Chains A and B, each alone.
Chain A
Amino acid sequence: MLILECPYCGVMADETELSPGYEAHLKRFGPGASDDEFESYMFARKNPKGVHFERWRHAYGCGKWFLAARCTATLEVFGTYPAQSSAPPAALVAKIKAKRPDWEGF
């Protein structure tokens, strides 16, 4: 069972308490965007077999959205951080890099 720490309320929440929100840090495009940009925002996904940054909501807890770094090949959780982040925290990136030397980086 997947257990993620909610960065807001600090609860170690198991999966049944959370709602998944798929890939994080998507760059949003709206009016005026090219077809390519809009298509990639709407549909194209990294879907990596390895380090994945994703959105979760502490649905049956504090109700807030947060972000998590997780390995899709092993289900190892590297860490969580607030949703108000345009990129993962440097400390988390360094931690992942140490555990996954082959990782291409964020």
Chain B
Amino acid sequence: MKRYSVFAIAREAMRQHQGWEKAWASPAPKAQYDAIIIGAGGHGLATAYYLGRNFGITNVAILEKGWLGGGNTGRNTTIIRSNYLQDPSAALYEKARGLYENLSQELNYNVMFSPRGLLMLAQTHHEVRGYLRTVHANMLQGVETRWIEPAEVKQLVPIINIDGPRYPVLGALYQERGGTARHDAVAWGYARACSDMGMDIIQQCEVTAVRSKNGQVEGVETTKGYIGTKKLGIVVAGHSGQVAEMAGFRLPIEAVALQALVSEPIKPCMDVVVMANTVHGYMSQSDKGEMVIGGGTDGFNNFTQRGSFHHIEETLRALVETFPMISRLKMLRQWGGVVDMTGDRSPILSKTPLGNCFINCGWGTGGFKAIPGSGWAMAELIAKGEPGPLAAAFGMERFREGRFIDESVAAGVAH
């Protein structure tokens, strides 16, 4: 693989850009692999990448029924943060945020990580108390966050209305090293690095059945034929339940739609990420100038990648009160993704009832920020067959045992 660099750009500029290689190969599947990852989204590709990087396992195939990064990796609002309340979540998301810091250098691919700072607005007294608690928890966890007063919020976000009658800003939980990244580039960067290590990324290859023998996984039937494997990782987000059923077990997960939208591009006006959890409004400004807005989830099972209009309406109504200047902004695009929600709103990184089959799912509405940490922990789980310290608390037996990692109560909302 040729490295991307300023010299490469200069060289290619001199010869009409004829020399750029394909970023990743598209091989036909081999008969047998050491490990197969189902799902070439951010989490699946990161899992494969860290399998190779940390454990030297490179005889790996990543199977994708659609196209690479075409699911929730390409549909989120690109927010990165680690200001979680519970210790296991803070550890996992902070690992991910830390890996994002150097990801562009490590992958030799510009993922445009922008630690521009992230504010979670407290708009009710309940939230004020909750975020003060989170700040204290983060201090003990080694996650750098602080509580800021309304005046500092206004200084950081001049376009905000802090004394709105319905949604006043009473302060915010501020994570200075939180921010955004280019979501597609994260998938593409990992894909390029995986392909460079000799892994096979096989797109438009849908898994139709999981084959096992004596309780151990043996391979998968796909639309491109049977592929054998010693280990299987299921990393398919919204469709986890369908693949789990093929592998013979059921998950504590329901799939719902989550929506986002972007406005027409405007001049730079907000250089931080603002999250208003009370009203399910999440807003940042992209490098192109579009205001990127995330909304809340629908309350019913849905696989259509379309959400209900009234949720968008509620989100925007509240955001317009908090940011009066966006009231005349036109919205360019709106879309939805299918998110896999667990009961405690925390992910599942787990062994499964089927031997040598592992699952990584349940990231719900906040998976993008976790991609590097999730891949790191999942690779360890697959390589060693047992969860490492990052994944240990996220096994799916926690539901049976009542050891929830309850971030739904912690945040007061889905996140």
Contact = CB atoms under 8 A, between A and B. Distances in A.
Interface in B239-254: 239, 241-242, 250-254
B334 interface: no
25 contacts: A1-B310, A15-B310, A16-B310, A20-B298, A22-B254, A22-B301, A23-B254, A39-B399, A43-B343, A44-B250, A45-B250, A45-B251, A45-B253, A46-B250, A47-B301, A48-B241, A48-B301, A49-B242, A70-B300, A72-B301, A72-B303, A72-B304, A75-B302, A75-B304, A75-B306
Interface string A43-87: 111111100101000000000000000101111000000000000
A74 B303 CA distance: 8
B384 interface: no
B299 interface: yes
Interface in B285-314: 298-304, 306, 308-310
Interface residues of A, number: 26
A35 B255 CA distance: 25
Interface centre among B239, B242, B302, B399 (most CB of A within 10 A): B302
A2 interface: yes
Contact of A49 (B300, B303, B310): B303
A26 interface: no
B: interface residue count bin: 20 to 34
A35 B239 CA distance: 26
A47 B254 contact: yes
A47 B252 CA distance: 9
A80 B239 CA distance: 26
Interface in A20-35: 20, 22-23, 35
Nearest to B298: A20
A103 to B, nearest CB: 15
Given A39-B400, A74-B304, A47 B251 contact: yes
B302 A72 contact: yes
A19 B299 contact: yes
B251 A44 contact: yes
Given A1-B308, A35-B400, A72 B255 contact: yes
Nearest to B304: A75
Nearest to B238: A49
Nearest to B300: A20
B254 A49 contact: no
Contacts of B303: 49, 72-73
Interface of B is mostly: mixed
Nearest to A42: B399
Nearest to A20: B299
Interface string B393-413: 000000110000000000000
Interface centre among A16, A43, A48, A75 (most CB of B within 10 A): A43
B398 to A, nearest CB: 10
A35 B401 CA distance: 9
B182 to A, nearest CB: 30
Interface centre among A2, A44, A47, A52 (most CB of B within 10 A): A47
B364 to A, nearest CB: 13
B252 A2 contact: no
A77 to B, nearest CB: 11
Contacts of A42: 343, 399
A16 B343 CA distance: 23
Contacts of B343: 42-43
Contact of B255 (A19, A47, A74): A47
Contact of A45 (B254, B308, B310): B254
Contacts of B299: 19-20
Given A1-B309, A16-B310, A44 B252 contact: yes
A72 B301 CA distance: 6
Given A43-B343, A47-B241, 7 more contacts: A2-B300, A2-B308, A16-B310, A45-B253, A47-B255, A70-B300, A73-B304
Nearest to B398: A43
Contact of A54 (B241, B300, B308, B399): B300
A66 to B, nearest CB: 14
B212 to A, nearest CB: 20
Contacts of B302: 72, 75
B128 to A, nearest CB: 28
Contacts of B298: 20
Contacts of B239: 49
B127 to A, nearest CB: 23
